[in-house]
C-alpha cells in the first residue's frame, strides 16, 4: 500500500502473520514479576508498533517546526506532513473531504467540541437529547452540562440483559423536541456493537443529527463515514496504536461550517482586529493554537499500520479470540460474563462469585496479566447489571490464543486463593 513516509509497514495480504505482528511491538517483550506480559487492557489504551515509534522519532529528528506559519523549509515540511496525516485519517474513515477531519486531543475533546460548537448554538430550553445506557461518561457528562445550562432534557435508551440496545424504545423516544442523538458505536464496558446505521437513518428521518462515539469501534472494525452518514464521528489515536493526546472529530462539512468555534486563538482566524475577528475555514476554525504535530503525524502512521494489516483481518482474528475466551470463561464455575450481545468486539467483562474485581486485578497482575477492574467510566451499565464493578479483558490483534489460556489459568489461580 502507499506509504509516503518511507517507513516500513507490513504488506497487505491475506496472511495474518502473528509472529511478525508481535515482533512489531517492542513493549510485548516486557516481563512483569518475572513473567511475560499478557496485555489485555487494550480498550483502555493499545500499544504502539515500532513503525509508529520510528515515525515519531523521524519527525522530531528531521521534520519539526511550527505549522501554518513560516515560509522556511522545516515549517513547510511539518505543515505538509501534518496535512498528509489528516488525509490518511480521511481515507481510513472514508470521509468525503479532508476538511471534514478535525484534529482534537482525543474522544473526550471531540465530544466537548461538538457540545460547545454545535450544542450551545443549536440546543435550547425544553429540547431533548437522546443518549444510550451504554455511553461512556465522556458522552454523558458534556451533554448533562449542556442540559443544565440550557434547560434541555436527556432521554436514555435502555438495554436488555445481553447488553444490547432496545431499538424499539429508541425509536419511541423521538418527538418534535428531539434535537440531538449521542450514540456509542461499540460499548467499552461490554463490547456490544450497536446497530448504528439503522439508528442514524431513523434519527435522520426525524431531521435529528447524530454523534457517534467510535473510540472502541475504529480500532477493531472498518468504519465508513459516507456509508454511515452520521453527522459526527469521534475517536482517539491511542486506542489504535497511535500516541496519546491526539484524536479526531469527523463532521459533515455543512454542519461544521454552521458551527461556532470551540476554542479561540492563533491558527483558527482569517483576520483579527480589536473590533472583530473573522474565523478561518474548516478544519482550521476548530484547531486553535499549535497542535500536537508529532502526535498527529504518529496518528497518521498508526492508521497506515492498521490498514497494512487490514481491518477485516483484524476483526476476524479478534473474533476468534473473543469466541475462544468466551467459551473458556463461561466454562469456569463461579464466573459470569456481563455483555453477551450477538454482535461484539473482543471485550469480556466478567465477575467471579465472592471475589471483588480489584482483588482479581491485583492477583492477575502477579501472573503478568493486565486487565482493567472497576466501573470502566460507564457507571449506568454497572447500575443496570447491579454490580459495582467488573474485571475486563479487552483484546487487540496482537494478542494470541496462548494469552487467553494464560488468562484462564490466572482466573483459576485467583479462585484457588480465595476458596
Partner 1 sequence: MNTKSLYQEVILDHNRKPRNYGTLEHPSHQAVGHNPLCGDRLDISLQLENDQISCIAFHGESCAICKASASMMTAAVKGKTRTDAETLIQEFREMTLGELDLNHPHHLGRLTVFSGIRDLPTRVKCAILPWHTLHAALNALSSVSTEAENDPASSTSENASGNV
Question: How many of the other CB atoms lie within 10 Å of CB of 265?
Answer: 11
> CB of residue 165 vs partner 1: minimum separation in angstroms?
24
Distance CA 104, CA 120 (A): 19
Q: Which one, 194 or 415, has the nearer CB to partner 1?
A: 415
> What are the backbone angles phi and psi of residue 242, rounded to the nearest 5°?
-100, -175
Nearest-approach distance from CB 339 to partner 1, in angstroms? 18
Q: Which one, 286 or 350, has the nearer CB to partner 1?
A: 350
Using alpha carbons, select from 134, 27, 174 the residue that is nearest to residue 376: 134
DSSP letters, 40-85, are -BTTT-----HHHHHHHHHHHHHT-S-SSS--SHHHHHHHHHHHHH
Cβ nearer to partner 1, comparing 96 with 358: 358
196-222 core/surface letters (b: 16 or more CB in 10 A; e: else): beebbebbeeeebbbbbbbbbbbbbbb
For residue 114, report the phi and psi dihedrals to the nearest 5 degrees: -70, -40
Looking at the Cβ atoms of 44 and 167, the one nearer to partner 1 is 44
Grid coordinates standing for 66? Answer: 511550527
List the catalytic residue out of 222, 377, 387, 408.
377
| Distance in angstroms (rounded) separating the CA atoms of residues 336 and 338 | 6
Cα–Cα distance for residue pair 323/401, rounded to 1 Å: 11
| Residue 146 phi, psi dihedral angles, 5° rounding | -65, -45
Kindly state the smallest distance separating residue 348's Cβ from partner 1, in Å: 19
Which cell numbers in the block locate residue 68?
501554518
CB of 355 to partner 1, least distance (A): 8
Distance of CA 414 to CAs 37, 272, 354, 394, Å? 17, 63, 11, 19
Q: Judged by CB, which is closer to partner 1: 86, or 372?
A: 372
**Contact residues: partner 1, CB under 8 A:** 355-359, 362-363, 365-366, 373-375, 379, 382, 388-389, 417-418
CA distance 256 to 253: 5
Say whether 377 is catalytic: yes
Closest approach, Cβ 166 to partner 1, in A, equals: 25
To the nearest whole angstrom, how small is the minimum distance from the Cβ of residue 379 to partner 1?
8
Q: Closer CB to partner 1, residue 260 or residue 362? A: 362
Least distance (Å) between residue 387 CB and partner 1:
9
Contact 381, 187 (CB under 8 A): yes
Nearer to partner 1, 63 or 349 (CB): 349
Tell me whether residue 195 or residue 374 sits nearer to partner 1 (CB atom).
374
Contact at 8 Å (CB) between 259 and 100?
no
Mark 359-372 as b/e (b = at least 16 C-beta within 10 Å): ebbebbbebbbbbb
Long-range contacts of 405-408 (CB under 8 A, 24+ apart): 405/328, 406/38, 406/367, 406/368, 406/369, 407/38, 407/40, 407/325, 407/329, 407/364, 407/369, 407/371, 408/325, 408/328, 408/329, 408/332
- Residue 216 DSSP symbol: T
As measured in angstroms, the least distance from the Cβ of 162 to partner 1 is: 23
Catalytic center residues: 377
Amino acid at each position: 500500500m502507499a506509504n509516503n513516509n518511507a517507513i516500513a509497514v507490513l504488506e497487505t495480504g491475506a496472511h495474518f502473520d502473528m509472529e511478525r505482528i508481535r515482533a512489531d511491538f517492542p513493549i510485548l517483550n516486557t516481563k512483569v514479576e518475572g513473567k511475560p506480559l499478557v496485555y489485555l487492557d487494550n480498550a483502555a489504551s493499545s500499544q504502539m508498533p515500532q513503525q509508529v515509534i520510528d515515525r515519531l522519532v523521524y519527525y522530531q529528528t528531521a521534520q519539526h517546526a511550527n505549522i501554518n506559519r513560516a515560509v522556511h523549509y522545516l515549517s513547510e515540511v511539518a505543515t505538509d506532513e501534518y496535512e498528509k496525516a489528516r488525509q490518511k485519517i480521511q481515507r481510513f474513515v472514508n470521509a468525503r473531504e479532508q476538511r471534514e477531519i478535525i484534529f482534537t486531543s482525543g474522544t473526550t475533546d471531540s465530544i466537548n467540541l461538538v457540545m460547545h460548537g454545535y450544542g450551545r448554538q443549536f440546543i435550547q430550553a425544553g429540547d431533548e437529547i437522546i443518549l444510550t445506557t451504554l455511553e461512556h461518561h465522556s458522552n454523558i457528562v458534556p451533554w448533562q452540562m449542556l442540559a443544565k445550562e440550557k434547560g434541555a432534557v436527556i432521554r436514555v435508551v435502555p438495554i436488555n440483559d445481553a447488553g444490547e440496545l432496545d431499538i424499539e424504545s429508541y425509536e419511541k423516544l423521538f418527538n418534535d423536541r428531539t434535537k440531538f442523538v449521542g450514540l456509542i458505536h461499540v460499548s467499552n464496558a461490554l463490547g456490544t456493537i450497536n446497530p448504528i446505521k439503522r439508528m442514524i437513518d431513523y434519527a435522520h428521518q426525524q431531521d435529528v443529527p447524530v454523534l457517534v462515539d467510535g473510540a472502541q469501534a475504529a480500532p477493531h472494525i472498518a468504519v465508513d463515514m459516507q456509508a454511515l452518514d452520521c453527522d459526527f464521528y469521534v475517536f482517539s489515536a491511542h486506542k489504535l496504536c497511535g500516541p496519546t493526546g491526539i484524536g479526531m472529530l469527523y463532521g459533515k462539512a455543512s454542519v461544521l461550517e454552521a458551527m461556532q468555534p470551540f476554542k479561540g486563538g492563533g491558527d483558527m482566524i482569517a483576520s483579527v482586529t480589536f473590533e472583530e475577528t473573522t474565523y478561518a475555514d474548516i478544519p482550521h476554525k476548530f484547531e486553535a493554537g499549535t497542535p500536537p504535530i508529532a502526535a498527529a503525524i504518529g496518528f497518521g502512521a498508526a492508521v497506515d499500520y492498521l490498514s497494512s494489516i487490514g481491518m477485516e483481518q483484524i476483526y476476524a482474528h479478534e473474533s476468534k479470540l473473543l469466541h475462544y475466551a468466551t467459551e473458556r470463561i463461561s466454562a469456569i464455575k463461579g464466573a459470569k460474563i456481563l455483555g453477551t450481545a450477538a454482535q461484539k468486539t473482543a471485550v469480556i467483562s466478567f465477575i467471579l462469585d465472592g471475589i471483588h474485581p480489584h482483588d482479581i486485578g491485583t492477583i492477575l497482575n502477579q501472573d503478568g496479566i493486565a486487565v482493567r477492574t472497576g466501573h470502566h467510566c460507564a457507571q449506568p451499565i454497572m447500575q443496570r447489571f447491579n454490580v459495582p464493578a467488573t474485571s475486563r479483558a479487552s483484546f487487540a490483534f496482537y494478542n494470541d490464543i496462548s494469552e487467553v489460556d494464560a488468562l484462564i489459568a490466572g482466573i483459576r489461580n485467583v479462585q484457588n486463593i480465595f476458596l
